[in-house]
Structure 1
Amino acid sequence: MDDSITRTLQTSVSPPASSWVRFLRSYGPTPNNASLFDEYVSAALAKAKVAPIRLNSPQLSNILERVSSGVPGSVLIAGTAGDGKTYHCRSLWSELGGEDRVWSDPEPIKKQSIDGGRIAIFVKDLSELSDEQGDEALSMLERSVLGEEDKEFLVLAANHGQILERLRSLGNRQGRSHPLRKLIQDAFLQSGSQHERLAVFDLSKTAHRHSLEESLDAVSRHPAWSNCLSCSLDMDGRVCPISENRRRLLGENDGRRMAKRLGDLVEIARYNGAHLPVRDLLALSANMILGHPTAREGLMSCSDIVRIQEAGSVENGSIYGNVFGANLPRRRTLSRPVFRVLTGFGIGEETSNAIDGLLVYGTDDSKLSDAFARLVASDAFYGATQSYLAAQRRYLEGDEGARLDEGASAFLKRMESQRQRLFFTLPETEPDFRFWDLTAFRFAGDYLETVAALVQRKAIAESARARLARGLNRIMSGLLLENTDKIFVASSGGFTHSKVSVLCDSELPARKVSGGLGMAIKLDEITGQPRIDITVVFGASDEVSLLLSPIRFEFLCRVAEGALPASFSNECLEDLMAFKARLLRQAELFRSGLELDGEPLPDDGTLYLNFIEIEHNGHGFSRPIAVRVGI
C-alpha cells in the first residue's frame, strides 16, 4: 500500500463501526471478558452506545406465561454457568414492571408486586446468598411448593448442583431428608417431570443447534454492521478480514453452509453429552469474526486492520481457523468448553487421500486441476493465496529438505488450514471429497440422518442398518463377518468378554419379525439418541438395549468397514462387550426356564454346540456339532 494512503488512513477518524466492534470484542474469549456476565451488560452498552445483542428465548415466554397465569407455586430457573439464568431473571423482572434501577441495586433478593395481589420474590443467583439468606429463600420455596403459601412465590435462579447441595445441607441440619431435593433432582434428570406447584425451567436442555443459530444471527446480523458499508478499509481493492469473515458467516451465496455445518458439529457434541452454554456460543460467534493471531488478545479491532493489510496477513484471520481457536494461545483455547469440544473433532488433522491429493497435486495433476480450481483456487482470500501456492511449489519442487519434517512444516500447517476451510465449504455434491472424512466422526452425517428419520418415524437408511448389524457381528464374534441380515450372539464357552468367540449362542434376524424376535433401531425418548433393541427369545417382552451415542455409532461403523483408528478408547469395546453379556444372560435365563418347565433331557454325555463358520465371501453361518464327553 502507498505510504501516503497508509498515513491518511492512520490519521483519519475512527472507522464507522469501531464502537460496535470494540463492544463485540468484549464478548470474545478474552482473558477477562466480564461483559459476558449479565450484571455488566448495561454498563458496557452505555459506554459503547450501541444496541444490545438480543437473543430470542422461547423459555422466557414460557416462564412469563407461567407467572402470569396465576397458577400457585414457584419458578426455578436452572442451568449451568453461562446458560443465561440471570438474563432470564432480569428479563422477567422487566416484563412484570420491575424498574432497572431497583434491579441494579446490590441487594440479592428483590420483590415485585404483580396482578392479583401476589408478590414475586426474585433471587437472581442462589450463590450470592449467605447461608442464612439461602435457608430463608429455600424455606420460602418449600412453603410455596407444598401449598402453605399462595400470596408470595419465588423466582429462583441456580446451578443444578448448587441448589441440590443447599437442599441436602439444609435437610441434614434439620434432621430430615428435604422434601424438595428428590423432586427437583427428578425434574433435572427426567424431561417433563414437573410438580404442579413448581415450574422448573432447565436452560441447559435448550437445543444446541437452536442456541447456536440464535447466537450467530444475533452477532452477524446486528444492525451496527451497516456502518461498515461506508468504511474505506473494505473498498477500492482492500479487504477487511472482519467484514470478510462476517460475509462468510452470513453465507448468502452458499445457503449458510458454514452455519449449518457448525450446527451439525454442535449437535453431534450434544448427543455425545457435551453442553455448550450460550455464553460460550456468543464467545465463539465473536471469535469467528474477529479472530486474528497478531491482534491484541487474538481479537481484531478496527484499529488493527491497516496493519494487517500492510503485512499481507489477512488470510491468518480466516474464519475457518477461528472456529477452532487457531487465533488464540493454546491454554486459552483449552480453557473454553466450546473450543475443547470443537477441536475434539480433529478437523484439520483428519483427512483422506483424495483431499490431500487435491491440496498437494491439484495444480499439476490434470485429473485434479478442475476440482482444484473449483474448490481451492476459487477462494482468493483463504484458499489458494499467493503464499499458499508458493509454499506448495517449495514443497513439490524444492530440494529434499523442503519435504522433510522441519522443511515441510510451513506447508503442512497450511494444509491443516485448508482442511478446516474445506470442511465448511465443500458442497454435498462432491462425491469424491466427503467433508465428514475431514473429522474423527466420518459417519456423523449418517448418525444425524438416522436421528432425523427416527424423529419423523421413518425407516432409517438400509446402509446404516447394514453397517450396524455387521459391526455388531464382528465385535460379538471377533470374526470378520459380512452378514447384515442376521445377528450372531456368540460366546467363547464361558468368558463373555473374550475378543474371539466362535460358539453361536443365538442367531437372530437383523430386523424384528413377528413375535418380536430380532433387532430394532428406535429413538430413545429421554436422550433423543438412537437405541438398538434386541430380543433373543421369541415372544419375550424383555429387550436388551444399547444407546447409540455418536461415538458408539462411529465405533460400530468403523468396525463394519474393517478399520478402527487407535484413537478410539477401549470404552466403546467394553460397552459392546457388556451389551453382549446381557444378551447371553437373557438367553440363558430363558433356557433355564425351559429346563424347569419341560421334560428333563437324557444325560448321555453329548454336548451340542453351534460353531460359527465363514464362507469364502465372508458370510458366516452356524454349524451344529455334537461332542461326546466323558467317554
Structure 2
Amino acid sequence: MNGLASVDPGFAPPASAWVRFLRSYGPTPNNLNLFDEYITGALNRAKVAPITLSSPQLDKIVAHVQSGARGGLLIAGTAGDGKTYHCRGLWAAVGGAPKAWADANLVKELTLPDGRVAVFVKDLSELRDEQSDEVLMMLERCALEGDDSKFMVIAANHGQMLERLRDLGHRQGREHPLRKPLQDAFLSGGNPPGRLALFDLSRIGHRDSLVEVVRAVSEHSEWKNCSSCSLQADGRVCPIFENRRRLLGGGGEVAFVRRLGDLVDIARLNGWHLPVRDLLALTSNMILGHPLAKEGLMACADIPKIQADGSVEQASLYGNVFGANLPARRAMERPVFKALASFGIGEESTSRADGLLVYGHDDGKLAESFARLVGSDQVYGATPGFLSALERYLEGEETARLESETDEFMERLVSQRRRLFFTLPDGEAAYPYWGMTAFRFGGDYLDTIAALAERKPISDSVRSRLVRGLNRVMTGLLIENTDNIFVASSGGFTQSRVSVLCDTEVPAKRDRGTGMMIKLDKQTDRACLDIALAPGVGNAVSFSLSPIRFEFLCRVAIGALPGSFSNECLEDMLAFKAKLLRKAEVILDMRPAGEDDEAGIEDHSIKLRFIEIEQHGLGFSRPVTVRISA
C-alpha cells in the first residue's frame, strides 16, 4: 500500500494547519522549512506561531557586537547548526530591517548605532571566488591589521571557511595567516587570532538541544486546538496526539526523553554531530511517523482512515525514533537516524526480555511482569494485533518460526524490543534496558563521564573491568588481573595478538606517579586512560576512551574475543600498546649506567620476564635468564 486513502476533502481538524507545518520539518525529500530563509514564508502560509528555541549563543553574539568590539566575528558550524538563523538574529537585534535581509544581496552593510559599519555575509559558500576573496581580505585587515573601517560578520561552514582561506593563500602565493589558527580553534575550541571572535555552534551540547527541541515542539501552543478535535473523542486514539502526549511524559513516559538523550550523548561521544536541523526532523518524525502515510508522515486528514484500518500501532513513536516509518534508504540519508541505528535497538535483546515478550502472556511465572511491562500499554504494547500474531507464532509449526525478520511476528518483536528499551523501569534488574542495545555498558560509560566531571571516584567494578580488558588485549591471554597492568610484547613485533614477554607492569591505580589514571578530556568530553610507566613529566601515554572503545574493553573483559567485536577497536588498542612499548624502551634507555638489571654483560646473559597464568586465571611475570653463547 503506497499511502492512505483520502478522506472527505471538507474534513478540517482544528490543528491541521499546525500539523501540516510541523510535517514539513520531518524527513521528507524536500525539507525547505529546515532552512532559515524559508521559515518566514512558511509561517505566513500556515498562519501558526513559529517553533521558538532559545539561543544562548545569539545572546552572546549580540552582546559582543554591542560591546563595541572591533575587528569581526565568525559564526561557524556544520550544516544545520543554525548559522544563518544566528546571523539573521544578529542583524535584527542591531537594527537591520527584515526586508533588507531578504533581498538578493549576498553581502550586506549596516551602520550600527555607535557608527561602526558592519558587513554581513550570511553564508560564505554562496559567494563566488572573487567575492569571497574580497570578503576574506577585508576580514584579514580588520582582524589582524587594525583596520576599523568595517566590522565583519561572517557565517560559514568549518570546511568551507578553511578551504576558501587555503585557496586565497594559494592565489596570493602564501600561507594565509588565518587558516592554521582557525583550524586549531575549530579542533580544540581555542581562541582565533587577533580581533576575530569565534562562535562555534557545533560545540553546543546535543542533549540540551534535544531536550529543548522536544519541549518546544511538544509544548507548542497550537496543540491546544486538539482538545476540541473529534478524532480523539469517544475513546478513539489519535496517534499524533498520543505520540505527542508520550513525549510530554504522559502515561508514565518520563524516561523517554532522558533515554533518548543518553543515546544522543553516546552518539556524540562516538563522533556523530547532530545539528538542530536533524533534531527537529527527528522530533517531527517521532510524532507524525506512519509507514502508510504519504512520505511516511501523517497529516490530520489521515487519522480517520488509520483508525478505521486499525493501524494506529504502526505509528508507534518507539519505532519512529529510529525511522522505522521511512524507507531504509531515506532514513539512512539522515545522520540522526544513522547514528541511532548504530545502537541496534530492536535487533539486540536479551534472552529474558525475549522470553517475556514471547512466553509472558501464557506463562504463569511471567504473567505479572508481562501485564505490568507489556499488557499495560494497549496502544503500542499488548495490542490485539500483537497478541494475535503471537498466538499464531506459538501455535505454528517449528519451521514457521525460522522465517526471516520480514515475518509479521518478527517485525512486531522488533517493535516491542524498541518499546521496552524506552519503557522499562530504571530499577528493573531482571530486564536491564541497556541490554537491549549494542552498547550494553553504555550506562556505565555515562556514569563514568558524570563521575569524572564531578571529580568523584569512578566505580571499582568499572575500573576492574577496564583493567581486565586492557590486560587481555595487551597479552592476548585470558588473565583475570585487575590490580596491575602488563605492558607485554612478543619479542619485537608489537602488533602480535599474543604477547607473553612482559616489558613492564604498573599498578591499575596511579601511585606515586606511576600507574593508570582515568580522567576527563575537556576538549572531547570523553574519558581518557593515562598510563604512566615511571614518575615524571613525559613518561605517560594517553588513550581517548570513546563509548565504543569502552564497550570493546568491557566486552573483552567478560570473555568476548577481541576481533569478534570490533577489528577497528582492536587495531586502536594495539597502536596504544605500541606507544606504551616505545615509551618503556625510552625510559629504559634513559637509566643511568649500572641500573640496567635486565642484561648480564659479564656472563653473556639476558634476563627476561614471561607472563604465566595461575590456576584461577591470575597472571604473574616470572623472570627467566637466557644464556648467550660466547
The one-letter amino acid paired with 1:624 is P
Q: Which residue of 1 aligns with 2:317?
A: 319
Distance 2:538 2:174 in 1: 40
Q: Which residue of 2 aligns with 1:474?
A: 472
Pairing 1:573–2:570 present: yes
How many pairs align? 624
Q: Residues 73 and 147 of structure 1 are in contact (CA less than 8 Å); yes or no, is this contact kept in structure 2?
A: no
Pairing 1:338–2:336 present: yes
Deviation at 1:11, TM superposition (A): 6.8
Distance 2:340 2:130 in 1: 42
The one-letter amino acid paired with 2:407 is S
Pairing 1:589–2:586 present: yes
Describe how 1:601-616 pairs up with structure 2 within 5 A. Answer: 601-616=600-615
Select the residue among 485, 488, 492 that pairs with 2:486. Answer: 488
State which drifts further: 606-615 or 463-472.
Answer: 606-615
Select the residue among 63, 67, 70 that pairs with 1:65. Answer: 63
State which drifts further: 389-398 or 185-194.
Answer: 185-194
Deviation at 1:542, TM superposition (A): 2.1
The one-letter amino acid paired with 2:361 is T
Distance 1:564 1:49 in 2: 59
Distance 1:407 1:223 in 2: 41
The one-letter amino acid paired with 2:65 is V
Describe how 1:190-589 pairs up with structure 2 within 5 A. Answer: 190-254=188-252, 256-405=254-403, 409-514=407-512, 516-539=513-536, 541-564=538-561, 568-589=565-586
Q: Residues 140 and 153 of structure 1 are in contact (CA less than 8 Å); yes or no, is this contact kept in structure 2?
A: no
Q: In percent, how many aligned pairs have the same letter? A: 61
Deviation at 1:401, TM superposition (A): 4.1
Q: Which residue of 1 aligns with 2:621?
A: 622
State which drifts further: 84-93 or 605-614.
Answer: 605-614
Deviations 1:270-321 (A, max 9, x none): 1111101111110001000000000000000000000000000000000000
Deviation at 1:564, TM superposition (A): 4.7
Distance 2:321 2:408 in 1: 21
The one-letter amino acid paired with 1:442 is R
Distance 1:73 1:341 in 2: 39
Q: Which residue of 2 aligns with 1:146?
A: 144
Deviation at 1:626, TM superposition (A): 2.0
Distance 1:565 1:241 in 2: 44
Deviation at 1:399, TM superposition (A): 2.8
Q: Residues 184 and 190 of structure 2 are in contact (CA less than 8 Å); yes or no, is this contact kept in structure 1?
A: no
* Gap change, CA 1:420 and 1:565, over 3 Å in 2: farther
The one-letter amino acid paired with 2:601 is P
State which drifts further: 138-147 or 66-75.
Answer: 138-147
Q: Residues 402 and 408 of structure 1 are in contact (CA less than 8 Å); yes or no, is this contact kept in structure 2?
A: no
The one-letter amino acid paired with 1:348 is G
Q: Residues 17 and 48 of structure 2 are in contact (CA less than 8 Å); yes or no, is this contact kept in structure 1?
A: yes
TM normalised by structure 1 equals 0.96
The one-letter amino acid paired with 2:284 is A
Q: Which residue of 1 aligns with 2:52?
A: 54
Distance 2:562 2:415 in 1: 23
The one-letter amino acid paired with 2:113 is D
Distance 2:342 2:555 in 1: 18
SS of equivalent residue, structure 2 residue 57: helix
Q: Residues 468 and 556 of structure 1 are in contact (CA less than 8 Å); yes or no, is this contact kept in structure 2?
A: yes
Distance 1:275 1:588 in 2: 39
Q: Residues 395 and 408 of structure 1 are in contact (CA less than 8 Å); yes or no, is this contact kept in structure 2?
A: no
Distance 2:344 2:14 in 1: 38
Distance 1:484 1:406 in 2: 43
Distance 2:193 2:172 in 1: 23
* Gap change, CA 1:445 and 1:16, over 3 Å in 2: same
SS of equivalent residue, structure 1 residue 102: helix
Q: Residues 253 and 423 of structure 2 are in contact (CA less than 8 Å); yes or no, is this contact kept in structure 1?
A: no
Distance 1:323 1:164 in 2: 35
Distance 2:375 2:128 in 1: 62
* Gap change, CA 1:397 and 1:537, over 3 Å in 2: same
Q: Residues 10 and 306 of structure 1 are in contact (CA less than 8 Å); yes or no, is this contact kept in structure 2?
A: no
Distance 1:525 1:406 in 2: 46
Select the residue among 106, 124, 127 that pairs with 1:126. Answer: 124
Distance 2:328 2:623 in 1: 59
Distance 1:564 1:534 in 2: 24
Select the residue among 168, 171, 184 that pairs with 1:170. Answer: 168
Deviations 1:358-405 (A, max 9, x none): 111111222211111111111000001111111111111223343231
* Gap change, CA 1:385 and 1:191, over 3 Å in 2: same
Q: Residues 373 and 424 of structure 2 are in contact (CA less than 8 Å); yes or no, is this contact kept in structure 1?
A: yes
Deviation at 1:12, TM superposition (A): 5.7
State which drifts further: 361-370 or 63-72.
Answer: 361-370
SS of equivalent residue, structure 1 residue 512: coil
The one-letter amino acid paired with 2:618 is H
SS of equivalent residue, structure 2 residue 198: strand
Deviations 1:412-439 (A, max 9, x none): 1111000111111111110011111111
Distance 2:252 2:117 in 1: 52
Deviation at 1:569, TM superposition (A): 2.9
Deviations 1:575-624 (A, max 9, x none): 11111111111111222222647589533132222121212211111122
Q: Residues 108 and 129 of structure 1 are in contact (CA less than 8 Å); yes or no, is this contact kept in structure 2?
A: yes
Distance 2:620 2:118 in 1: 69
Deviations 1:512-538 (A, max 9, x none): 112x11111011122111110111124
SS of equivalent residue, structure 2 residue 498: coil
SS of equivalent residue, structure 1 residue 554: helix
Q: Which residue of 1 aligns with 2:17?
A: 19
Distance 1:490 1:598 in 2: 21
Deviation at 1:252, TM superposition (A): 3.9
Q: Which residue of 2 aligns with 1:3?
A: none
Distance 1:122 1:333 in 2: 35
State which drifts further: 291-300 or 163-172.
Answer: 163-172
Structure 1 alignment gaps of length 5 or more: 1-5
SS of equivalent residue, structure 2 residue 414: helix
Deviation at 1:573, TM superposition (A): 0.7
Distance 2:196 2:373 in 1: 55
Distance 1:199 1:563 in 2: 49
Q: Residues 246 and 253 of structure 2 are in contact (CA less than 8 Å); yes or no, is this contact kept in structure 1?
A: no
SS of equivalent residue, structure 1 residue 116: coil
* Gap change, CA 1:612 and 1:279, over 3 Å in 2: same
SS of equivalent residue, structure 1 residue 115: coil
Select the residue among 142, 155, 158 that pairs with 1:157. Answer: 155
Distance 1:417 1:564 in 2: 30
Distance 1:12 1:234 in 2: 18
The one-letter amino acid paired with 1:547 is S
Distance 1:624 1:130 in 2: 70
Q: CA RMSD in A?
A: 1.8
Distance 1:567 1:328 in 2: 31
The one-letter amino acid paired with 1:520 is M
Distance 2:196 2:169 in 1: 19
SS of equivalent residue, structure 2 residue 319: helix
